[in-house]
């Protein structure tokens, strides 16, 4: 096996393919197909549920506990809501996106006839008034230019109301063991899940690895997946905010890139179950894996819904600190990815000791 900066070359390739794939919420098909192919060799069963979650199962001992690990396949993006007479496309946001980062972005409109490249148009500085320059243009007033001369031409090109739009960002390696790309939230969780199943030895517990849908609009896929699986333990693998950059004060987002996986103590949707937190911390310590504790970030993960499934499921979160998430491009340290895989493998092996 090839290693690069201490991380499996194959794992970087998987992350690259997943990051470049389109999976705007509600249209997760491409990501699901990729994940199905990657996971298949390492599990006993794999299926898609009625709404599109990918559910892979690795069988353990008969009376052993069942653990559900979840990574969401969807990414934030846009959706076409109107085609203007002159051929410009108006859109709505899918998931939490800051209006300020939309301007002048190159995007891909995914139509039934295939992908179209476009740009979110902006008024050149030459003709902006003094007040305009200081103001944020709200998403409602922005438009996508796909080069269509009028509405008919845009329609002929394949555009329909409801088409999803993703950011046109290509994965790249930068610095030393650092990568840049779109949708690391949560394709990095998907990559960690695949690699975890690959490295997982024969374990006692029953493992469900779930690629969930529609996380970014309210943790929807995880809700129905947990109901079907009835796990004893739930662990979400997700991306979290790395605050180690200019302009972020101490304590605002304490997680730093390169200092290991982040364990959520509490977020807007979950207070990690003490036993799950203990399982994760002990597993990290036993294996000398550095970790970071996090609390107080506005946002929630699939673990929030798994925890509240049926009569309740002790749950926790392992996340990857990434800079600039929910924007067209995020930055991630590959060393954290490797450490998150090690932690996930160790924690799954330890589950029967705790549950």
Spell out the residues 6+ positions from residue 85 whose beta carbon is closer than 8 angstroms to its own.
150, 151
How many C-beta atoms surround the C-beta of residue 191 within 10 A? 28
User: Is residue 186 part of the contact set for Zn ion (CB under 5 A)?
Assistant: yes
- State whether residue 237 is helix, strand or coil: strand
Question: Contact, 347 vs 276, CB < 8 A?
Answer: no
From 28-36, 49-57, 233-241, 345-353, span contacting Zn ion (CB under 5 A): 233-241
Distance of CA 56 to the CA centre of its chain: 18
User: Is residue 28 part of the contact set for Zn ion (CB under 5 A)?
Assistant: no
User: Is residue 294 part of the contact set for Zn ion (CB under 5 A)?
Assistant: no
Least separation in angstroms between residue 213's CB and Zn ion is: 12
User: Is residue 74 part of the contact set for Zn ion (CB under 5 A)?
Assistant: no
- Which is nearer to Zn ion, 148 or 341 (by Cβ)? 341
Q: What share of the chain is helix, strand, coil (3-state, %, to 5)?
A: 30, 30, 40
Least separation in angstroms between residue 75's CB and Zn ion is: 9
Least separation in angstroms between residue 74's CB and Zn ion is: 9
From 25-33, 231-239, 266-274, 279-287, span contacting Zn ion (CB under 5 A): 231-239
- Which is nearer to Zn ion, 238 or 335 (by Cβ)? 238
From 110-118, 177-185, 244-252, 338-346, span contacting Zn ion (CB under 5 A): 177-185
Residues 236-255 touching Zn ion, rule: CB under 5 A, are 238
Cα–Cα distance, 178 to 173 (Å, whole number): 6
Least separation in angstroms between residue 238's CB and Zn ion is: 4
User: Is residue 185 part of the contact set for Zn ion (CB under 5 A)?
Assistant: yes
Query: With the CA atoms of 11, 173, 54 and 36 taken in that order, what torsion angle do they form, in degrees rounded to the nearest 10?
Result: -50
Spell out the residues 6+ positions from residue 141 whose beta carbon is closer than 8 angstroms to its own.
none
How many C-beta atoms surround the C-beta of residue 223 within 10 A? 20
- Which is nearer to Zn ion, 185 or 349 (by Cβ)? 185
Active site (annotated) includes residue 130: no
From 162-170, 195-203, 234-242, 344-352, span contacting Zn ion (CB under 5 A): 234-242
- Which is nearer to Zn ion, 301 or 309 (by Cβ)? 301
Nearest by Cα to 234 from 262, 196, 208, 202:
208
Q: Which helix (H) or strand (E) holds 315?
A: strand 315-323
- Which is nearer to Zn ion, 103 or 217 (by Cβ)? 217
Q: Residues binding Zn ion: what is the number (CB under 5 A)?
A: 3
Cis before 157? omega within 30: no
From 153-161, 179-187, 197-205, 251-259, span contacting Zn ion (CB under 5 A): 179-187
Residues 147-176 touching Zn ion, rule: CB under 5 A, are none
Least separation in angstroms between residue 324's CB and Zn ion is: 14
Least separation in angstroms between residue 326's CB and Zn ion is: 9
Question: Contact, 237 vs 15, CB < 8 A?
Answer: no
How many C-beta atoms surround the C-beta of residue 121 within 10 A? 14
- Choosing from 215, 259, 294, 349, the catalytic residue is 215
- Which is nearer to Zn ion, 109 or 306 (by Cβ)? 306
Nearest by Cα to 188 from 322, 27, 94:
322
Question: Contact, 272 vs 266, CB < 8 A?
Answer: yes
Least separation in angstroms between residue 255's CB and Zn ion is: 14
- Which is nearer to Zn ion, 185 or 338 (by Cβ)? 185
How many C-beta atoms surround the C-beta of residue 252 within 10 A? 11
CA angle (184, 185, 186) in 5-degree steps: 95
Distance of CA 268 to the CA centre of its chain: 17
Site residues for Zn ion per CB under 5 A: 185-186, 238
Catalytic positions: 215
């Amino acid at each position: 096996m090839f290693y690069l900066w201490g991380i499996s070359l194959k794992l970087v390739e998987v992350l690259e393919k997943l990051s470049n794939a389109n999976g705007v919420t509600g249209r997760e098909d491409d990501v699901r197909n990729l994940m199905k192919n990657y996971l298949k060799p390492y599990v006993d069963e794999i299926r898609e549920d009625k709404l599109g979650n990918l559910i892979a199962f690795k069988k353990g001992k008969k009376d052993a506990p069942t653990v559900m690990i979840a990574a969401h396949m969807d990414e934030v993006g846009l959706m076409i809501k109107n085609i203007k007479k002159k051929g410009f496309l108006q859109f709505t946001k899918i998931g939490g996106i800051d209006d300020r980062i939309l301007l002048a972005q190159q995007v891909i409109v995914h139509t039934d006839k295939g992908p179209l490249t476009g740009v979110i148009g902006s008024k050149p500085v030459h003709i902006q008034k003094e007040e305009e320059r200081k103001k944020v243009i709200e998403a409602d007033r922005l438009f996508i230019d796909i080069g269509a001369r009028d509405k008919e031409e845009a329609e002929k090109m394949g555009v329909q109301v409801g088409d999803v739009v993703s950011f046109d960002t290509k994965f790249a390696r930068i610095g030393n063991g650092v990568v840049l790309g779109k949708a690391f939230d949560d394709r990095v969780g998907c990559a960690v899940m695949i690699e975890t199943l690959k490295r997982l030895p024969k374990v006692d517990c029953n493992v469900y690895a779930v690629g969930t849908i529609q996380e970014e609009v309210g943790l929807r896929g995880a809700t129905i997946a947990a109901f079907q699986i009835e796990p004893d333990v739930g662990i979400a693998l997700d991306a979290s905010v790395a605050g180690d950059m200019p302009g972020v004060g101490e304590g605002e987002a304490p997680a730093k890139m390169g200092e290991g996986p982040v364990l959520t103590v509490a977020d807007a949707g979950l207070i990690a179950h003490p036993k799950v937190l203990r399982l994760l911390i002990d597993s990290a310590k036993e294996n000398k894996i550095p970790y970071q504790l996090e609390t107080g970030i506005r946002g929630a993960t699939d673990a929030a819904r798994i925890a509240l499934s049926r009569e309740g499921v002790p749950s926790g979160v392992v996340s990857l600190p990434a800079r600039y998430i929910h924007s067209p491009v995020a930055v991630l340290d590959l060393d954290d990815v490797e450490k998150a895989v090690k932690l996930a493998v160790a924690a799954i092996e330890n589950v029967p000791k705790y549950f």
